[in-house]
Amino acid sequence: MASSLTKDSVHPGTPGSEKTFFGHPRGLATLFMTEMWERFSYYGMRALLPLYLVAPGGLHLSGGTATAIYSVYVSLVYLLTMPGGWFGDRVWGPRRTVAVAGAIIMLGHLTLALPSSGTFYAGLGLVAIGSGLLKANISTMVGHLYDGPDDPRRDGGFTVFYMGINLGAFAAPLVIGTVGESVNWHLGFALAALGMALGLVQFLLGSRHLDPHSSVVPKPLTAEEKTSTLRKAALWAAVAAVAYTVLGVSGHYTLNWVLVPLTLLGVIIPTLVLVRIKRDRELDSAEQSKMSAYIWFFVAAAVFWMIYDQGGSTLSIFATSSAENSVLGWNFPVSWYQSVNPVLIMALAPVFAWFWLALNRRGKEPSTVVKFASGLALVGASFFLFLAPLSIADGGHKAAALWLVAIYFVQTVGELLLSPVGLSVTTKMAPAKYASQMMGVWFLAVTAGDATTGLLSLAGVDLNKTGIVALEATLAVVAGAAVWMYRGKVKQLMGDVR
C-alpha cells in the first residue's frame, strides 16, 4: 500500500504535488486566505480607529490625542514583530504561533466591540500583540512551501501572497468602515472580529496543506533559557503592575502615562537594536560596512513612514471636518479613503515590475539608493500637495475629495519606489549572524517613524497646521536630497550589493 501513495498524499501542497493554487503549492491558498482575512480585520479597524477616537459618538478625544494613540498602536504592531518572530523560532513554531495570533486578534476586536471606553485600550493592545505574532511568522510559512530559495516559483508565490494583503486592505474600509461610520462603531469592530474568525477557521481547516517544517520549532529554548525568560518577564510585569497601581491609587494616572513610555520605546528600541548589531565584533569588515550603509536606508525609511502613515490619521481627521467627501454629489464615508492606497498598489505594482525589468535590460535601472531618494522626495511632495487643501480649509471652504486622492496617489508611487526595495536590500545586506532577524529590523523603521509622530502629537504639535505640514514635507525632500548627494559613499559602503 505504501508504495502506491503519491507525493501529494504524503505531503499535500508540497513542491511537485499535482493539485496546485495558480501553479503554486496548495498551502499557498491557505496562507493567502488567512492573510487576506487578517488584513481585512486589521485595516478595517485601523480605518475606523482615528474617526472613532475623535467622534462625538466615540471617545470624543482631541485630534492630537487621537493621532498619538493611532501612531502608538501602529508602531507597536511593527515593534512586536520581533518578539513575534522569536516566539515562532524558539517557543511554538510558525504554524502554532499563527493560530494563537489569530485567536488573540479576534479576541482583541471583540473587546473593541464592547461599548466601553475602559476595555477599548485593552482591545487595541490585544490586536497589536496578535498582529505582531502573526506578521512575523506567516511569511516564513510561505517560504516553507517552496524547494529552497532557488525554486523558480518562489518570487511568484510571494507576489500572489501580497495580493491577498491588498485585497483584504482594499475591501476592509468599504465594508467595516461603512458599517462603523454609518450604523454603529462597535458593530464595525465586531465585523473585524468576524473577518479574523473566518481567517482563523480557514487556516485551521487548510493547515494540512502546509509544509511540515511550519510545525517545527527551529531553535527551541533550553530549560535554563525558559526559566530565565519567565523570570525576566515576571519581573518586568511586576514592575509595571506596581508602578501603574501606585499611579492609579494616588490619582495621578492619565492616558499619557501609557502613551509617552510606549512612544519613547518606539524610538529607543530601534536605535538600540541597530547600535547592538553595528558594534558586534563578530561581524567582518564587509558586514560592518554594509551595516553602515543600511543605517542610511533605515533612517530614510523612518522619515518616509513618519509621513506616509499619517494618511490613516492626520489626513483622515482632516477629512472628517474639512473635506467634501463626495463624488458627483454622492457622499461616501471618510474611511473609504483608506481603500485608495491598496487599489493603487494592485494597479501600479505590475507596471513598476515591468518598468524596472525594461530599464534593467537596457542597463538603465536606477540604483537602490536613487530609488530610496526618489521615494523620500515623493512622500515629501505629497505633503507639499497637502498644503493646497489645508489652505482651502483655512479659507472657510471644504477641500474636494480629489485633493486627498491625489495625495494618496503620490504617496503610493513613493511607497512602490521605497518599500519593496527596502525589503530586498534588507535581505541582501543582512550580516550572516542576523539573517533571520533583519526583516524585523526593517519593520522597526516603521516603528521609529510612527513613534516620532506620536511624540510630536503628545508634545502638543498640531499636525494639521500648514507650518508643520510644510516642515515635514521639507524634511523628507531634504533627506531624499541628502541620500542622493551621498549616493556614491553609500554605494561604496554597500560593497557588492546593488
pLDDT on residue 478: 94
Above 50 in pLDDT, residue 80?
Answer: yes
Contact 353, 347 (CB under 8 A): no
- Taking only the tens place, the pLDDT of each residue in 352-378 is 888 888 888 898 888 888 898 999 999
Measured CA distances, 79 to 84, 108, 128, 332, 450 (Å): 9, 18, 9, 33, 10
Above 80 in pLDDT, residue 245?
Answer: yes
Residue whose C-alpha cell is 489645508: 390
- Taking only the tens place, the pLDDT of each residue in 398-413 is 999 999 999 999 999 9
- Taking only the tens place, the pLDDT of each residue in 257-303 is 888 999 999 999 999 999 999 888 888 888 888 888 889 889 999 99
Q: Hey, what's the torsion of the CAs at 301, 302, 308, 309, to 10 degrees?
A: 130
- Taking only the tens place, the pLDDT of each residue in 169-180 is 999 999 999 999
Dihedral sign of CA atoms 36, 39, 41, 44 in order: negative
Spatial separation of the C-alpha atoms in residues 134 and 276, rounded to whole Å: 26
3-state secondary structure the chain: CHHHCCHHHHCCCCCCCCCEECCEECHHHHHHHHHHHHHHHHHHHHHHHHHHHHCCCCCCCCHHHHHHHHHHHHHHHHHCHHHHHHHHHHCCCHHHHHHHHHHHHHHHHHHHHCCCHHHHHHHHHHHHHHHHHHHHHHHHHHHHCCCCCCCCCHHHHHHHHHHHHHHHHHHHHHHHHHHHHHCCHHHHHHHHHHHHHHHHHHHHHHHHHCCHHHHCCCCCCCHHHHHHHHHHHHHHHHHHHHHHHHHHHHCCCCCHHHHHHHHHHHHHHHHHHHHHHHCCCCCCHHHHHHHHHHHHHHHHHHHHHHHHHHHHCHHHHHHHHHEECEECCEECCHHHHHHHHHHHHHHHHHHHHHHHHHHHHCCCCCCHHHHHHHHHHHHHHHHHHHHHHHHHHHCCCCEEHHHHHHHHHHHHHHHHHHHHHHHHHHHHHCCHHHCCCHHHHHHHHHHHHHHHHHHHHHCCCCCCCHHHHHHHHHHHHHHHHHHHHCHHHHHHHHCCCC
Contact 374, 477 (CB under 8 A): no
The pLDDT mean for the chain works out to 88
Spatial separation of the C-alpha atoms in residues 182 and 337, rounded to whole Å: 15
* Cell numbers standing for residue 124: 487595541
pLDDT on residue 439: 76
Angle made by CA atoms 428, 429, 433, in degrees to the nearest 5: 105
Spatial separation of the C-alpha atoms in residues 372 and 305, rounded to whole Å: 12
Contact 142, 90 (CB under 8 A): no
| pLDDT confidence bin for 492, thresholds 50/70/90 | confident
pLDDT on residue 9: 35
Greatest Cα-to-Cα distance within the chain, rounded to the nearest angstrom = 81
Measured CA distances, 364 to 307, 385, 421, 455, 493 (Å): 30, 30, 16, 41, 22
- Please enumerate in sequence order all residues whose Cβ is within 8 A of that of 140, keeping only pairs 6 or more positions apart, or say none: 85, 88, 94, 214
| pLDDT confidence bin for 496, thresholds 50/70/90 | low
b (16+ CB within 10 A) / e for 291-309 = bebbebbbbbbbbbbbbbb
Contact 93, 212 (CB under 8 A): no
Spatial separation of the C-alpha atoms in residues 34 and 138, rounded to whole Å: 9
| pLDDT confidence bin for 145, thresholds 50/70/90 | confident
Residue with the larger pLDDT of the pair 277 and 1? 277
| pLDDT confidence bin for 244, thresholds 50/70/90 | confident
Spatial separation of the C-alpha atoms in residues 406 and 383, rounded to whole Å: 11
Above 80 in pLDDT, residue 487?
Answer: no
pLDDT on residue 89: 87
- Report if pTM > 0.75: yes
b (16+ CB within 10 A) / e for 72-111 = bbbbbbbbbbbebbbbbbbebbbbbbbbbbbebbbbbbbb
Average pLDDT value for residue range 184-192: 96
